[in-house]
Amino acid sequence: MKEKLVVIGNGMAGMRTVEELLKIAPDKYDITVFGAEPYGNYNRIMLSPVLTGEKTIEQIMINDLDWYKDNNITLHAGIDKKVVKIDRRNRIVFAEDGTEESYTRLLLATGSNPFIIPLPGHELNGVIAFRDISDVDLMLDAAKNKTHAVVIGGGLLGLEAANGLMLQGMDVTIIHNLDVLMNRQLDGPSAKLLQTELESRGLKFKMSANTTKITSDNEGNVAGIAFDDGVELKADIVVMAVGIRPNIDLAKSAGIHSERGIVVNDTMQTFDPRVYAIGECVQHRGELFGLVAPIWDQAKVCSNHLAGYGIANYRSVATATKLKVTGCDLFSAGDFEGDEDTDDIVFQDPKRGVYKKIVIREDKIIGAVLYGDTVDGSWYFSMMKDGVNVKDIRNTLLFGQVHLGDSGHGEANAAANLPDSAEVCGCNGVCKGDIVKAINEENLYTLEEVRAVTKASASCGSCTGLVEQILVATAGGDYNPTETEKPLCACTTSSHDNVRDAITSQKLKSFSEVSEYLDFMKSEGCHVCRPAINYYLLAAWPGEYEDDMRSRFTNERMHANIQKDNTYTVVPRMLGGMTTPEDLRVIADTADKYEVPMVKVTGGQRIDLVGVSKDNLIPMWKDLTDAGMVSGHAYGKSLRTVKTCIGSQFCRFGTQDSTGLGVRIEEMTWASWTPAKFKIAVSGCPRNCAEATIKDFGVVAVDSGWELYVAGNGGMKVRVSDFLVKVTTDDEAMEYVGAFMQIYREKGHHNERTAPWIERVGLTYIKQEIVEDADKRKAFYDRFIESQKYAQVDPWKKRVEGFDKQSFIPMAEV
Amino acid sequence: MSQTIEIGKLTDIPKLGSRVVKTNQGDIAIFRTAEDEVFAMHDKCPHKQGALSQGIVHNNTVTCPLHNWVIGLDDGEAKGHDKGCVKTFEAKLEGGNVILVLDK
Ligand code: SRM
Ligand SMILES: Cc1cc2nc3c(=O)[nH]c(=O)nc-3n(C[C@H](O)[C@H](O)[C@H](O)COP(=O)(O)OP(=O)(O)OC[C@H]3O[C@@H](n4cnc5c(N)ncnc54)[C@H](O)[C@@H]3O)c2cc1C
Ligand code: SF4
Ligand code: FES
């Protein structure tokens, strides 16, 4: 017999948990849900756009009644279905109308209640909260035939309510007890800008106000509101939006330990281990919740335990807020006030209505407030959560990611104003309209979901900021900020770093050992974790771990790039971009012999034979390797090319022999596997014809030696490299190349090029490890050379000799 | 009418790998899972004809090498939010030999 799960509360937290549970353990429970609201489950966040008229109730339903049927969930929904009693001894819950259900496990998701200030008059007709559909109905009704609205509370909810009522034609005054609006999210200057903007739209404010009572007419309806300074305002309705209180009465009456909220541990269990609790009704390590981002995390953890996997732990992370008032761009996260130990970096342009403040402690961002231009909000936020050291970029921090060389969509911040036909994701050809449609029709909340459904920002990611903005503009809050220590993929909760640490500390030597040790949910992994872990194992155990061809992406398995018609390309290595007439003849003959449809000089200074059928790969490689050429690894997460310019051998400006050093470097580094592709260039003078300053490792000659640069990137996000150090001899340059490649090999995440990697770990860290500490540098270099002993085998030759022959020929012809 | 063809040994296909059989109905990819089950389908991704035989095989699915669609080995259906289906064929094992069943 199936176990029985009863959920009390048909809101966002409860149903999200059920959805997650159905994904991972669809058959474990008979599920019954009690909800005190007479609907399916809807997106509470979107009540604001319903109030403004931008959305209808139907549009904000997450799961309609059919969903419950389709998933065999019994739903008891309605005002009289409110659960009033839990009998924990016999494990039965009772609803107001007498409905009872027994449970093996119980989930409390009762949300919270709006706080109503007990002012004289608070029970009059027309005093409304802003929490559920019935509140919105009351407000919309009032807007039809009444004029004056007063909103008590100048926080997020109050402003959204006021804005909605104003758009419905009412005359609205906001009462706030302080002189700073949204004081939990904004500081003085940004709040002032917001107030000015809202005033210009027609909202009125009474700040630093002390309400004394709500006055009434003869029929028990609200008539006005009075203040201690003698002022009286007319009011047909009064909306109270002054905060929420966790809904814990039921839990308390059942003897479940509660303080401000129902107390839960890291696995979302209450003091009664059969009873779980989640959402706004809980208190976790002293903290209460009022936004959905942390609640989604809780739902993941809770469903994992309900499913019996028992491996996830909830840890609260910082959240960020945005205001859902169209046209008010505002972003706030973390500690934006600071104290004596923090520095504020502030940018203010009142005329453009732009204000930015970043609070920094010990070179790390601990909070941010942005007004008017919030494009970089998610960037600051992710650096804040990852604890990124921002010392090196402090001088340009406020100008945003564009200034770090993001050639993406930096300036296009007015996502809301883009036409539906505007292309947002260039890689996958996704327009704004497609994204908006998907968000609305498929009820998407998170960036990950939008990626999965629309493919927008799923490839290069440079449009991520824009997609996030569209998500916020369409669906409301930024509810799924990227998590710190993100899981490597959906097969596991472990992050890249967890996996790497486990491999080295536990001496794990195969994928199955890793997946067993870290309790992967899917034992065979997937196309994301298998290649990553294969690389980590290869990097950790050189010479010992055997490369698993089945965990290699086809290009790396076939040692050739797959093309759109399933043909491949053949790119022989040309060390340092140098070739000879003999080599060129061999290439030309090979191209002739196999009728190669396209011969092309690549951007990496060598020749690409394009459009080769799989059957021809081995014969072509044979001809090329017989003539002494080796694979160019144009296909791999490995060293690609070492580009050079002419240099002092011939060039009239050349100060050093760039071709000579380039060839030496490529001889040392070819065939090395790296987390993502790795490109090097050497220029013979500061004119820099080899474009060395946008390479992963760049070498630029000066009169007295070589300047070394790291972490440059051409391609999608251009990033000019950082100066690392200046050296005088070729040998020193070689040692730095090896050391830098090795530290990247050991610390970089799979698929993370040096540019994002260095922005994550900081240049200072690299300098500490390989510049300031000569012994460490030497040790990194030695480890690189050691692993190259096993790596520098020409894969083409190996296959010509018969290795993995099966992959290249059909199994049968029938 | 269907035609039953012996196309080789199970060991001709690497575990978690795939081989191609050329037929008059086009290339057919034969997959071998970790549990030594075999599956067969057209070697053409429903998205843009990527060679599924070149993909990474995991838990009864294969990830297409061109744009990462994940295709079910048993039903040929695209997983997740992608929509499409590739024609599958019956494949089975008889004493270590792989048998492919083709419609005539
Ligand atoms: C062949 C070549 C174009 C050419 O004819 O010039 C090329 C071809 C491809 N590039 Fe490139 N890139 C080529 C030089 C470059 C360069 C120039 C350079 O290396 O100096 C760049 C910019 C520099 C850089 O990487 O920082 C470049 C930046 C990219 C990017 C963007 C990388 C980034 O981090 O932003 C991608 C996409 C990716 O890797 O995800 C990419 C991906 C690709 C892929 C692999 C796309 C794919 O997955 O199929 C193309 C493979 C076609 C093929 O089968 O050969 N290619 N690609 C060049 C090969 C150079 C070589 O000899 O190996
Ligand atoms: C107008 C508005 C705008 C918001 N905007 C944002 C935003 O932009 N971003 C953001 O992150 N968050 C926002 N929030 C907050 C977000 O909606 C909540 O954090 C979230 O809904 C909490 O989920 P929950 O399941 O804990 O509570 P709820 O969604 O409130 O669900 C609790 C449910 O339990 C039911 N219930 C309670 N007791 C019982 C009982 N005894 N028996 C049966 N049923 C019971 C209630 O009727 C309710 O339906 C907003 C909230 C509101 C009201
Ligand atoms: S070669 Fe590079 S730039 Fe050209 S189409 Fe392919 S990936 Fe794009
Ligand atoms: S062709 Fe298979 S995913 Fe595009």
Distance from the alpha carbon of residue A132 to the mean position of ligand 2, in angstroms: 8
The conformation of residue A547, written as its DSSP 8-state character, comes to P
What is the least distance, in Å, from the CA of B87 to any CA of chain A? 18
Q: Please check whether residue A609 is in contact with residue A650, taking contact to mean a CB–CB distance below 8 angstroms.
A: no
Pairing of strands A237-240, A148-152: parallel
**A523–chain B Cβ distance below 8 A for any pair:** yes
Q: Please check whether residue A485 is in contact with residue A760, taking contact to mean a CB–CB distance below 8 angstroms.
A: no
The residues that bridge with A101 in the sheet, in sequence order, are A93
What atom in ligand 1 is closest to the CA of residue A676? 39
**Separation between Cα atoms, residue A111 and residue A8, nearest integer Å:** 10
Pairing of strands B38-42, B88-94: antiparallel
Mutate to test the interface with B, among A511, A529, A554 (most CBs of B within 10 A): A554
Chain centroid to Cα B63, Å, comes to: 12
- Count Cβ atoms within 10 A of the Cβ of residue A616 and give its class: 0-12 exposed, 13-18 middle, 19 or more buried: buried
**Taking Cα atoms as reference points, which of B96, B73, B95 lies closest to residue B86?**
B73
The predicted pLDDT at position A409 comes to 40
Does the CA dihedral B49-B52-B54-B55 come out positive or negative?
Answer: positive
The predicted pLDDT at position A461 comes to 64
The predicted pLDDT at position A478 comes to 47
The conformation of residue B12, written as its DSSP 8-state character, comes to G
Q: For ligand 1, is residue A606 a contact (CB within 6 Å)? A: yes
Q: For ligand 4, is residue B69 a contact (CB within 6 Å)? A: yes
Q: For ligand 1, is residue A16 a contact (CB within 6 Å)? A: no
Q: Please check whether residue B76 is in contact with residue B28, taking contact to mean a CB–CB distance below 8 angstroms.
A: no
| Ligand found nearest the CA of A299 | 2
Q: How many CB atoms lie within 10 A of CB A506?
A: 12
What is the least distance, in Å, from the CA of B20 to any CA of chain A? 5
**B12–chain A Cβ distance below 8 A for any pair:** yes
pLDDT digits (tens, 9 = 90+) for A262-288: 999 999 999 999 999 999 999 999 999
Chain centroid to Cα A120, Å, comes to: 47
**Separation between Cα atoms, residue A151 and residue A165, nearest integer Å:** 9
Give backbone dihedrals phi and psi of A802, rounded to 5 degrees, phi first. 120, -5
Mutate to test the interface with A, among B23, B27, B54 (most CBs of A within 10 A): B54
Q: Do A811 and B19 touch (CB under 8 A)?
A: yes
**Separation between Cα atoms, residue A366 and residue A335, nearest integer Å:** 6
Mutate to test the interface with B, among A527, A534, A535, A564 (most CBs of B within 10 A): A527
Take atom 46 of ligand 1 and give the residue whose Cα is closest.
A561
**A530–chain B Cβ distance below 8 A for any pair:** yes
CB burial of A735-753 (b: ≥16 within 10 Å; e: otherwise) equals bbbbbbbbbbbbbbbbebb
A563: alpha, beta or left, given left = phi > 0 and alpha = psi -120 to 50?
A: beta
Distances from the Cα of A74 to the Cα of A2, A71, A77, A90, A808, angstroms: 14, 9, 10, 20, 55
The predicted pLDDT at position A155 comes to 92
The predicted pLDDT at position A406 comes to 40
Q: Do A562 and B51 touch (CB under 8 A)?
A: yes
Output the six-digit token pair for A753.
């090029």
Distance from the alpha carbon of residue A482 to the mean position of ligand 2, in angstroms: 22
**How many residues would you count in chain B?**
104
> In this complex, which of B7, B56, B100 lies closest to A551 when CB atoms are compared?
B56
Distance from the alpha carbon of residue A407 to the mean position of ligand 4, in angstroms: 28
Q: Do B19 and A806 touch (CB under 8 A)?
A: yes
Residues of chain A with pLDDT under 50: 405-413, 478-483
The whole model's pTM is what? 0.70
Reported ipTM: the value is: 0.78
Residues of chain B with pLDDT under 50: none
Q: Do A810 and B58 touch (CB under 8 A)?
A: no
> In this complex, which of B12, B63, B65 lies closest to A811 when CB atoms are compared?
B12
The predicted pLDDT at position A413 comes to 47
**Separation between Cα atoms, residue A331 and residue A468, nearest integer Å:** 13
Distance from the alpha carbon of residue A546 to the mean position of ligand 4, in angstroms: 29
Q: Please check whether residue A277 is in contact with residue A268, taking contact to mean a CB–CB distance below 8 angstroms.
A: yes
The predicted pLDDT at position A722 comes to 94
Instruction: Give residue limits of the domains in chain B.
Output: 2-103
Q: For ligand 4, is residue B62 a contact (CB within 6 Å)? A: no
- B-chain residue closest to A527, CA distance: B56
Q: For ligand 2, is residue A130 a contact (CB within 6 Å)? A: yes
**Separation between Cα atoms, residue A17 and residue A8, nearest integer Å:** 12
What atom in ligand 4 is closest to the CA of residue B69? 3
What atom in ligand 1 is closest to the CA of residue A601? 5
Element (H, E) at B26: strand B26-32
The predicted pLDDT at position A628 comes to 96
The predicted pLDDT at position A415 comes to 64
**Taking Cα atoms as reference points, which of A644, A683, A684 lies closest to residue A667?**
A644
What is the least distance, in Å, from the CA of B32 to any CA of chain A? 11
Please, which contacts does A81-85 make with residues 24 or more away whose CB atoms are closer than 8 Å?
A81/A34, A81/A35, A81/A36, A82/A34, A82/A36, A83/A8, A83/A34, A83/A36, A83/A250, A84/A250, A85/A250, A85/A253, A85/A254
- A-chain residue closest to B83, CA distance: A453
Q: For ligand 1, is residue A634 a contact (CB within 6 Å)? A: yes
The conformation of residue A534, written as its DSSP 8-state character, comes to H
The structure tokens 């022999």 sit at: A657
- A-chain residue closest to B54, CA distance: A554
Which residues from chain B sit within 8 angstroms of residue A553, using beta carbons? Answer: 56, 65
Element (H, E) at B31: strand B26-32
Output the six-digit token pair for A109.
């998701």
Q: For ligand 4, is residue B64 a contact (CB within 6 Å)? A: yes
The predicted pLDDT at position A485 comes to 66
E-strand spans in A132-288?
148-152, 171-175, 204-206, 211-216, 222-227, 232-234, 237-240, 244-246, 262-264, 275-277, 282-284
Q: For ligand 1, is residue A679 a contact (CB within 6 Å)? A: yes
Q: Do B65 and A562 touch (CB under 8 A)?
A: yes
Q: Do A527 and B12 touch (CB under 8 A)?
A: no
- Count Cβ atoms within 10 A of the Cβ of residue B104 and give its class: 0-12 exposed, 13-18 middle, 19 or more buried: exposed
Q: Do B57 and A814 touch (CB under 8 A)?
A: no
Q: Do A564 and B22 touch (CB under 8 A)?
A: no
Distance from the alpha carbon of residue B69 to the mean position of ligand 4, in angstroms: 6
CATH 2.102.10.10 fits B2-103, yes or no: yes
